[in-house]
Amino acid sequence: MSITLTVNTITNSLKSIRNKLNNLPKEAFQEFVKATPIKTGNAKKSTKLKGKTIEANYAYAGVLDKGRHMTSRGMRGSDQAPNGMSKPTEVFIKKRIDQILRGK
């Protein structure tokens, strides 16, 4: 039994993987925004994708991103995002990379 694999097949597969990986920042941004809690809408509208970087540009971004947690002043963070936004986004990215490398 012989197996024949042309370079074009490999090249096309690599192009497909590269295209999907190039789209990953946009997908991650959408996931981050989806995980962002809504009270006034400021957090979501103040979150931007700049190149490959997600910027949450508002004063309380760090508090929300820590998730729901206890401080000396009591509970902080949002019930809507108990794990913050970065952690769920990181989980999404890892799963998505695995899917991409498996050809999905």
pLDDT digits (tens, 9 = 90+) for 19-55: 999 999 999 999 999 999 999 999 999 999 999 999 9
Q: What is the average pLDDT score of the chain?
A: 91
Separation between Cα atoms, residue 72 and residue 62, nearest integer Å: 17
Q: What is the pLDDT of residue 94?
A: 98
Q: What is the pLDDT of residue 4?
A: 66
Separation between Cα atoms, residue 90 and residue 5, nearest integer Å: 35
Q: What is the pLDDT of residue 7?
A: 64
Taking the whole predicted model, whether its pTM rises above 0.85 is answered as no
Query: Per-residue b/e over 40-55, b at no fewer than 16 CB within 10 Å?
Result: eeebbeebeeeeeebe
6's enclosing H/E stretch is: none
Q: What is the pLDDT of residue 9?
A: 67
pLDDT digits (tens, 9 = 90+) for 51-80: 999 999 999 999 999 998 888 888 888 889
Question: Phi-psi category of 77—alpha, beta or left, where left has phi over 0 and alpha has psi -120 to 50?
Answer: left
Does residue 92 contact residue 74 with C-beta atoms inside 8 Å? no
